[in-house]
Amino acid sequence: MAFTDYESQLIRGRQEPRPWNIQEEIKGICQPDFHCLDLGCGSLFKWLPLAKHVNSLTGLEINDSMLAKAQENILKSSFKHVGLLKGRSSSIPFPNESFDFVTAIMAPNAVEEEVFRVLKPGGYYLLETSTERDQASIKQAFGRDEDGWRGQSLNLIDHSVYIQRYNRIRQLTDCFSIRIGRWRTWYSPEALKYFLEQVPIVRNFDPVKDSRTLQRLIDQQDKKGEIKTVQERILVVARKPDNGCDNI
């Protein structure tokens, strides 16, 4: 993956206004004394502009190439209070009650029990993740293989992502909000192919082997020469039990 391209707007297509701005959601929680952890941080390009609002920021990432890009971005930013660690979101390598704020932005392996373990009492957790309906019109076109639907999360029953997240968080705290947002996105044929190569929403996507399916999608383009799909995501803001439930 070319990470300078991963950060590019090209793979996001032309979009309707989103129901929330994830950076504004994060900024609204940040406080100057907060120690923050971003799970599956990738290149940190979404979080770095906000690092000036907190005491410290640590990115956790398992992919070496992503870590290298994140380190490059940190050096460009000149922030001294931002660090990186290689590790998995499902097993966070920090002691109990280490952080005031934990984020998991499109980090599929985040585990709520681990998040709440490393949160301080009263600490915040922000999760943004896609549902099984996210870009379903594209994912369904690639059908099934021996492991089921190739499209990410299509093997799950209707809205089970939402239900699973609700139930897991509900067991950990009464203090949370959960929203579902949908917005239309349009890709040019070039952008659609590029997006599928860069973002693993279709298992084992191969532009050569999948060329016929890709062409069928491209043939569905509208008068503007674009292919429409609908994105659907969940946004959760939760707070570890303490002495109150404000600002959720």
DSSP 90-127: TB--S-TT-EEEEEEES-TT--HHHHHHHEEEEEEEEE
Q: Is the separation of the CB atoms in 41 and 84 below 8 Å?
A: yes
Q: Which residues, other chains included, contact 85 with Cβ-Cβ below 8 Å and sequence gap of 6+?
A: 58, 59, 60, 61, 93
Q: Is 39 within the bounds of a domain?
A: yes
- Determine the Cα–Cα distance for residues 167 and 67; give it in Å rounded to an integer: 32
DSSP assignment letter at 174: S
> Distance between CA atoms of 145 and 10, rounded to whole angstroms?
29
CA 196 to CA 199: how far, in whole Å? 5
Residue with tokens 């290298």: 68
Quote the CA–CA distance of 174 and 103 in Å, as a whole number: 18
Is residue 83 in a domain?
Answer: yes
- Residue 172: phi and psi, rounded to 5, are -100, -25
CA 95 to chain CA centroid, Å, is 24
In a domain, 192, yes or no: no
7 inside domain:
yes
- Which domain does 24 fall in, by range? 3-134+152-185+230-239
Report the candidate in 93, 97, 90 with the shortest Cα–Cα distance to residue 113: 90
Residue 147 belongs to a domain: no
Rounded distance between C-alpha atoms, residue 163 and residue 201, angstroms: 21
Q: Is 197 within a domain?
A: no
Task: Evaluate whether residue 46 is within a structural domain.
Answer: yes
pLDDT in tens, the chain (248 residues): 333 444 455 567 899 999 999 999 999 999 999 999 999 999 999 999 999 999 999 999 999 989 999 999 999 998 999 999 999 999 999 999 999 999 999 987 889 999 999 999 999 999 999 988 899 999 999 999 999 999 988 877 565 777 778 888 999 999 999 999 999 999 999 999 989 988 889 999 999 999 999 999 999 999 999 999 999 999 999 999 987 666 57
User: SS3 of 86, please?
Assistant: strand
- Global pTM reads 0.88
Helix (H) or strand (E) holding 4: helix 3-6
Q: For the domain that residue 126 is a member of, what is the CATH number?
A: 3.40.50.150
Whether residue 203 is contained in a domain is answered as no
Whether residue 153 contacts residue 130, with contact meaning beta carbons closer than 8 Å, is answered with: yes
Q: Are 248 and 237 in contact (CB under 8 A)?
A: yes
Q: What is the count of structural domains for the chain?
A: 1
